[in-house]
Amino acid sequence: MINQYQDIRLISDENLSAILHKNNFPKYRTKQIKIWATKISVDSFDKMSNLPRGLISFLNENFFIYKSKIISKHQSQDKTIKYVIKLQDGLVVESVLIPSNSRVTVCVSSQVGCSLDCNFCATSQLTRTRNLEYYEIYDQIMLLEKESKKIFKSKISNIVFMGMGEPLLNYKNVIKSIEYITSTIGIGISNKKITLSTSGISKMIKRMADDNVKFNLAVSLHSALESTRNEIMPFSKSLPIEDLINSLEYWYKKTKRKVTFEYLIWEKINDDFNHINALVKICKRVPSKVNLIEYNKTGNSKFRQASDRWLQNYLGVLKNNKIPVSVRRSRGKDIEAACGQLANKH
């Protein structure tokens, strides 16, 4: 009997092999078990049809497999679908399936709530309850992969870590989930189709570069002026913007991959040329592109979308400085599934 009854997906391959060997089962069964539990995504050892009955009994006595479950879903007029997913302990997270003409993107969560305090984001109003385990992140993708095939007749083509939580404050589990997602045990999606979005945890950006990750990096910037950034994202007071820039320069030096800056424009906050010019300076230091994002209301009356005139000013100055820039329109805002709106309202 194993000391602790737990989800078998928490057991490393090495430890599981050792457990099997100690109990007179061949080590090669480890890979078979993990394929069933992850790639095939069964919820019971009894469904592992190529395992002997004695091993299945042993697994049932000592381990379990809990699969996260979709408990509700809400579809937008633009066909975006928000899913409420129940975890093993009864807590919930939200994930979003976003179809377009050429692809289907899934937006996944990495924490229950969020560790940070960005004033414009609904998720930050939730207390961070805990980090997600790697397999809970993985489960979101597997669940929505099935939904995508059923509803849109298409596999997931892109994955963005832009849901609930700060991914870099759950680094170990996020990285492990991506390793599974991109492997033959997972759905085999290319790292090039995965984007991790961070609010700017400098130390962890450098660690990602050192770890030689292959996916894409996006940074929620919203202001290149320290005073404004500190006001709208108070956590950044302990993370100077110069440290962030240095970490992004380091990222590019190590990976040779451009950073995407995500940028909201608000009335009387960053709708002026001082902010535009500050953004240009950062983009000239860090090889990058800019996504200008439509603001989605979250209940904080301080934040209002700037006028179209200022959107055009940003576009004009960035293009004049040969900085790649695009405008990203919101999807799913009528069901509170758009960027910054995920707050477990269901």
SS3 98: strand
Which residues, other chains included, contact 230 with Cβ-Cβ below 8 Å and sequence gap of 6+? 236, 237
249 is catalytic: no
179 is catalytic: no
Long-range contacts made by residues 265-268, C-beta under 8 angstroms, separation at least 24? Answer: 265/292, 265/295, 265/305, 265/306, 265/310, 265/311, 265/314, 266/120, 266/295, 266/303, 266/304, 266/305, 266/306, 267/304, 267/305, 267/306, 267/307, 268/304
Q: Which of 14, 61, 94, 262 is catalytic?
A: 94
CA distance 95 to 91: 14
Query: Using an 8 Å Cβ cutoff, are 83 and 57 in contact?
Result: no
CA distance 224 to 264: 12
Q: Which of 107, 114, 118, 339 is catalytic?
A: 339
Mind telling me the catalytic residues?
A: 94, 339
